[in-house]
Amino acid sequence: MDLSAAMLREARRRAVAEDLDNVVFEQADAQVHRMPQEVFDVAISWTGTMFFADVVAAFSNIAAALRSGGRFVQLVWQEPARNEWFCDFGEAMAAGRTTPVPPPGAPGPFALADPDRIRAALTGSGFTDVVILAQGAPMCFGADADSAHRFVSGLLGWMLEDLDDQGRAGALRALRASLTRHEQPDGFFYFFYASATWLVKAVREA
Ligand SMILES: C[S@@+](CC[C@H](N)C(=O)[O-])C[C@H]1O[C@@H](n2cnc3c(N)ncnc32)[C@H](O)[C@@H]1O
Protein backbone atom coordinates (compact mmCIF):
# COMPACT_ATOMS: atom_id res chain seq x y z
CA MET A 1 0.00 0.00 0.00
CA ASP A 2 1.27 3.46 -0.86
CA LEU A 3 -0.17 6.88 -1.61
CA SER A 4 2.17 7.28 -4.56
CA ALA A 5 1.16 5.97 -8.00
CA ALA A 6 4.81 6.17 -9.13
CA MET A 7 5.97 4.04 -6.20
CA LEU A 8 3.27 1.45 -6.93
CA ARG A 9 4.19 1.39 -10.62
CA GLU A 10 7.75 0.49 -9.67
CA ALA A 11 6.54 -2.14 -7.18
CA ARG A 12 4.31 -3.72 -9.86
CA ARG A 13 7.21 -3.71 -12.31
CA ARG A 14 9.41 -5.55 -9.82
CA ALA A 15 6.68 -8.06 -8.99
CA VAL A 16 6.29 -8.90 -12.69
CA ALA A 17 10.09 -9.13 -13.11
CA GLU A 18 10.20 -11.62 -10.25
CA ASP A 19 7.21 -13.62 -11.51
CA LEU A 20 5.21 -12.96 -8.35
CA ASP A 21 1.50 -13.59 -8.78
CA ASN A 22 0.35 -13.56 -5.16
CA VAL A 23 0.72 -9.81 -4.57
CA VAL A 24 -1.93 -7.10 -4.49
CA PHE A 25 -1.04 -3.40 -4.63
CA GLU A 26 -3.35 -0.72 -3.25
CA GLN A 27 -3.07 3.02 -3.77
CA ALA A 28 -4.42 4.14 -0.43
CA ASP A 29 -3.81 6.10 2.76
CA ALA A 30 -2.69 3.71 5.52
CA GLN A 31 -4.20 6.04 8.12
CA VAL A 32 -7.79 5.59 6.95
CA HIS A 33 -7.99 2.86 4.30
CA ARG A 34 -10.50 0.24 5.39
CA MET A 35 -8.59 -3.05 5.20
CA PRO A 36 -9.89 -6.56 5.89
CA GLN A 37 -10.12 -6.75 9.69
CA GLU A 38 -8.06 -9.06 11.95
CA VAL A 39 -6.65 -11.20 9.16
CA PHE A 40 -3.02 -10.31 8.43
CA ASP A 41 -0.08 -12.04 10.13
CA VAL A 42 2.38 -9.23 9.60
CA ALA A 43 2.57 -5.61 8.44
CA ILE A 44 5.92 -4.27 7.23
CA SER A 45 6.99 -0.72 6.49
CA TRP A 46 10.39 0.29 5.15
CA THR A 47 11.00 3.99 5.84
CA GLY A 48 7.34 4.86 5.34
CA THR A 49 5.62 5.33 8.71
CA MET A 50 7.45 8.57 9.60
CA PHE A 51 5.50 10.30 6.83
CA PHE A 52 2.11 9.63 8.44
CA ALA A 53 0.42 12.88 9.46
CA ASP A 54 -1.37 11.05 12.30
CA VAL A 55 0.84 8.19 13.48
CA VAL A 56 -1.60 6.87 16.10
CA ALA A 57 -4.50 6.82 13.60
CA ALA A 58 -2.35 4.92 11.11
CA PHE A 59 -0.97 2.46 13.68
CA SER A 60 -4.52 1.83 15.02
CA ASN A 61 -5.75 1.18 11.50
CA ILE A 62 -2.87 -1.26 10.90
CA ALA A 63 -3.53 -2.93 14.29
CA ALA A 64 -7.18 -3.48 13.29
CA ALA A 65 -6.09 -5.30 10.13
CA LEU A 66 -3.71 -7.65 12.01
CA ARG A 67 -4.89 -10.80 13.72
CA SER A 68 -4.38 -10.98 17.46
CA GLY A 69 -0.67 -11.72 17.98
CA GLY A 70 0.14 -10.45 14.47
CA ARG A 71 3.37 -8.49 14.07
CA PHE A 72 4.13 -4.98 12.90
CA VAL A 73 7.74 -4.32 11.79
CA GLN A 74 9.07 -0.94 10.72
CA LEU A 75 12.38 0.55 9.71
CA VAL A 76 12.69 4.26 10.56
CA TRP A 77 15.59 6.70 10.46
CA GLN A 78 17.44 7.67 13.62
CA GLU A 79 18.21 11.36 14.15
CA PRO A 80 19.85 13.30 11.29
CA ALA A 81 23.20 13.71 13.11
CA ARG A 82 23.66 9.92 12.98
CA ASN A 83 22.94 9.83 9.24
CA GLU A 84 26.04 11.06 7.51
CA TRP A 85 24.40 10.76 4.07
CA PHE A 86 21.68 13.21 5.10
CA CYS A 87 24.05 15.72 6.74
CA ASP A 88 26.61 15.65 3.92
CA PHE A 89 24.15 15.88 1.04
CA GLY A 90 22.03 18.45 2.88
CA GLU A 91 25.06 20.64 3.53
CA ALA A 92 26.23 20.46 -0.09
CA MET A 93 22.81 21.25 -1.52
CA ALA A 94 22.13 24.02 0.99
CA ALA A 95 24.98 25.97 -0.65
CA GLY A 96 25.63 28.03 2.47
CA ARG A 97 21.95 28.71 3.22
CA THR A 98 20.39 27.76 6.54
CA THR A 99 17.78 25.14 5.74
CA PRO A 100 14.61 25.13 7.85
CA VAL A 101 14.30 22.38 10.46
CA PRO A 102 10.77 20.92 10.71
CA PRO A 103 9.11 21.09 14.15
CA PRO A 104 9.67 17.92 16.25
CA GLY A 105 7.26 15.17 15.24
CA ALA A 106 6.17 16.84 11.98
CA PRO A 107 5.81 14.24 9.21
CA GLY A 108 9.16 13.70 7.48
CA PRO A 109 12.12 11.32 7.37
CA PHE A 110 13.05 11.88 11.04
CA ALA A 111 9.59 12.13 12.63
CA LEU A 112 10.05 8.78 14.40
CA ALA A 113 13.71 9.21 15.31
CA ASP A 114 12.80 9.42 19.01
CA PRO A 115 12.27 5.86 20.35
CA ASP A 116 10.01 7.18 23.14
CA ARG A 117 7.67 8.62 20.52
CA ILE A 118 7.51 5.33 18.58
CA ARG A 119 6.90 3.34 21.76
CA ALA A 120 4.14 5.70 22.94
CA ALA A 121 2.46 5.68 19.53
CA LEU A 122 2.52 1.87 19.35
CA THR A 123 1.29 1.23 22.89
CA GLY A 124 -1.40 3.88 22.32
CA SER A 125 -2.74 2.11 19.26
CA GLY A 126 -3.15 -1.51 20.30
CA PHE A 127 0.40 -2.90 20.21
CA THR A 128 2.49 -4.55 22.90
CA ASP A 129 5.96 -6.16 23.23
CA VAL A 130 7.65 -3.24 21.50
CA VAL A 131 11.31 -3.90 20.66
CA ILE A 132 13.48 -1.16 19.16
CA LEU A 133 16.86 -2.22 17.77
CA ALA A 134 19.56 0.15 16.55
CA GLN A 135 20.88 -0.63 13.09
CA GLY A 136 23.85 0.92 11.35
CA ALA A 137 24.72 0.25 7.74
CA PRO A 138 26.84 1.90 5.09
CA MET A 139 24.72 3.32 2.28
CA CYS A 140 25.85 3.12 -1.31
CA PHE A 141 24.50 5.72 -3.76
CA GLY A 142 25.80 4.51 -7.08
CA ALA A 143 28.21 2.31 -8.94
CA ASP A 144 30.32 5.25 -10.12
CA ALA A 145 30.75 8.95 -9.45
CA ASP A 146 28.45 10.05 -12.27
CA SER A 147 25.55 7.77 -11.38
CA ALA A 148 25.81 8.65 -7.67
CA HIS A 149 25.88 12.35 -8.53
CA ARG A 150 22.89 11.96 -10.86
CA PHE A 151 20.91 10.02 -8.27
CA VAL A 152 21.50 12.39 -5.35
CA SER A 153 21.10 15.60 -7.36
CA GLY A 154 17.81 14.18 -8.72
CA LEU A 155 16.59 13.19 -5.27
CA LEU A 156 17.43 16.57 -3.74
CA GLY A 157 17.10 18.74 -6.85
CA TRP A 158 14.19 20.59 -5.24
CA MET A 159 16.71 22.16 -2.82
CA LEU A 160 18.32 24.04 -5.71
CA GLU A 161 15.15 25.54 -7.17
CA ASP A 162 15.56 29.00 -5.65
CA LEU A 163 19.30 29.31 -6.41
CA ASP A 164 20.75 31.21 -9.37
CA ASP A 165 22.98 29.42 -11.89
CA GLN A 166 26.14 30.18 -9.93
CA GLY A 167 24.64 28.92 -6.64
CA ARG A 168 23.36 25.79 -8.33
CA ALA A 169 26.75 25.04 -9.90
CA GLY A 170 28.46 25.57 -6.52
CA ALA A 171 26.07 23.17 -4.77
CA LEU A 172 26.60 20.50 -7.41
CA ARG A 173 30.38 20.94 -7.10
CA ALA A 174 30.11 20.54 -3.32
CA LEU A 175 28.08 17.37 -3.83
CA ARG A 176 30.74 16.02 -6.19
CA ALA A 177 33.43 16.83 -3.59
CA SER A 178 31.50 14.94 -0.91
CA LEU A 179 31.19 11.89 -3.17
CA THR A 180 34.91 12.02 -3.95
CA ARG A 181 35.72 12.13 -0.22
CA HIS A 182 33.64 9.01 0.27
CA GLU A 183 34.98 7.03 -2.62
CA GLN A 184 36.10 3.59 -1.52
CA PRO A 185 39.67 2.59 -2.31
CA ASP A 186 38.87 -0.98 -3.35
CA GLY A 187 37.10 0.22 -6.48
CA PHE A 188 34.25 -2.26 -6.07
CA PHE A 189 31.59 -0.47 -4.02
CA TYR A 190 31.57 3.30 -4.18
CA PHE A 191 30.45 6.19 -2.04
CA PHE A 192 29.56 4.65 1.27
CA TYR A 193 27.96 6.95 3.85
CA ALA A 194 27.12 6.01 7.42
CA SER A 195 23.43 5.58 8.22
CA ALA A 196 21.47 4.74 11.36
CA THR A 197 17.96 3.37 11.65
CA TRP A 198 15.68 1.80 14.24
CA LEU A 199 14.22 -1.61 13.51
CA VAL A 200 10.94 -1.52 15.42
CA LYS A 201 8.96 -4.64 16.21
CA ALA A 202 5.60 -4.84 17.96
CA VAL A 203 2.84 -7.38 18.50
CA ARG A 204 -0.87 -6.71 18.12
CA GLU A 205 -2.54 -7.03 21.51
CA ALA A 206 -4.86 -10.01 22.06
C1 LIG B 1 10.69 7.14 1.68
S2 LIG B 1 9.35 6.41 0.81
C3 LIG B 1 9.64 4.68 1.11
C4 LIG B 1 8.95 3.84 0.11
C5 LIG B 1 9.29 2.34 0.13
N6 LIG B 1 8.87 1.73 1.38
C7 LIG B 1 10.75 2.12 -0.14
O8 LIG B 1 11.48 1.74 0.78
O9 LIG B 1 11.21 2.32 -1.26
C10 LIG B 1 7.95 6.77 1.84
C11 LIG B 1 6.65 6.35 1.20
O12 LIG B 1 5.59 6.48 2.16
C13 LIG B 1 4.42 6.77 1.43
N14 LIG B 1 3.39 7.29 2.34
C15 LIG B 1 3.46 8.41 3.10
N16 LIG B 1 2.33 8.57 3.82
C17 LIG B 1 1.53 7.52 3.52
C18 LIG B 1 0.23 7.13 3.94
N19 LIG B 1 -0.48 7.87 4.79
N20 LIG B 1 -0.30 6.00 3.42
C21 LIG B 1 0.41 5.24 2.53
N22 LIG B 1 1.66 5.57 2.10
C23 LIG B 1 2.21 6.69 2.58
C24 LIG B 1 4.89 7.77 0.39
O25 LIG B 1 4.01 7.88 -0.69
C26 LIG B 1 6.25 7.21 0.00
O27 LIG B 1 6.17 6.38 -1.15
Per-residue pLDDT reduced to its tens digit, 137-194: 988 888 778 888 999 999 999 999 999 999 999 999 999 999 988 887 665 555 689 9
Q: Rounded to the nearest whole angstrom, what is the distance from the C-alpha of residue 48 to the centroid of ligand 1?
A: 4
pLDDT digits (tens, 9 = 90+) for 122-134: 999 999 999 999 9
Checking if the pLDDT of 105 tops 90, the result is no
Nearest to 182 by CA among 134, 135, 149, 136: 149
> What single letter denotes the amino acid at residue 67?
R
Q: Does the CB atom of residue 30 touch ligand 1 within 6 A?
A: yes
**Residue 189: per-residue pLDDT:** 54
Checking if the pLDDT of 198 tops 70, the result is yes
201 and 130 in contact (C-beta within 8 Å)?
yes
> What single letter denotes the amino acid at residue 112?
L
Rounded Cα distance between 164 and 150, Å, is: 19
Rounded to the nearest 10 degrees, how much is the dihedral formed by the CA atoms of 142, 146, 150, 156? Answer: 80
More confident residue, 142 or 109: 109
Model pTM score: 0.91
Rounded Cα distance between 53 and 55, Å, is: 6
Rounded Cα distance between 112 and 50, Å, is: 5
Q: Which residue blocks in 81-137 are alpha helix, DSSP H?
A: 84-94, 115-123
Q: Rounded to the nearest whole angstrom, what is the distance from the C-alpha of residue 108 to the centroid of ligand 1?
A: 10
Q: Does the CB atom of residue 35 touch ligand 1 within 6 A?
A: no
Instruction: Provide the pLDDT confidence category of residue 104 given band limits of 50, 70 and 90.
Output: confident
Q: Rounded to the nearest whole angstrom, what is the distance from the C-alpha of residue 73 to the centroid of ligand 1?
A: 15
Q: Domain spans of the chain? A: 31-204
Q: Does the CB atom of residue 27 touch ligand 1 within 6 A?
A: no
Which residue's alpha carbon is nearest to atom 8 within ligand 1?
A: 46
**Residue 140: per-residue pLDDT:** 86
Q: Rounded to the nearest whole angstrom, what is the distance from the C-alpha of residue 54 to the centroid of ligand 1?
A: 14
Which residue's alpha carbon is nearest to atom 9 within ligand 1?
A: 46
pLDDT digits (tens, 9 = 90+) for 30-73: 999 999 999 999 999 999 999 999 999 999 999 999 999 999 99
Out of 1.10.472.50, 3.90.1150.10, 3.40.50.150, 1.10.600.10, select the CATH number for domain 31-204.
3.40.50.150
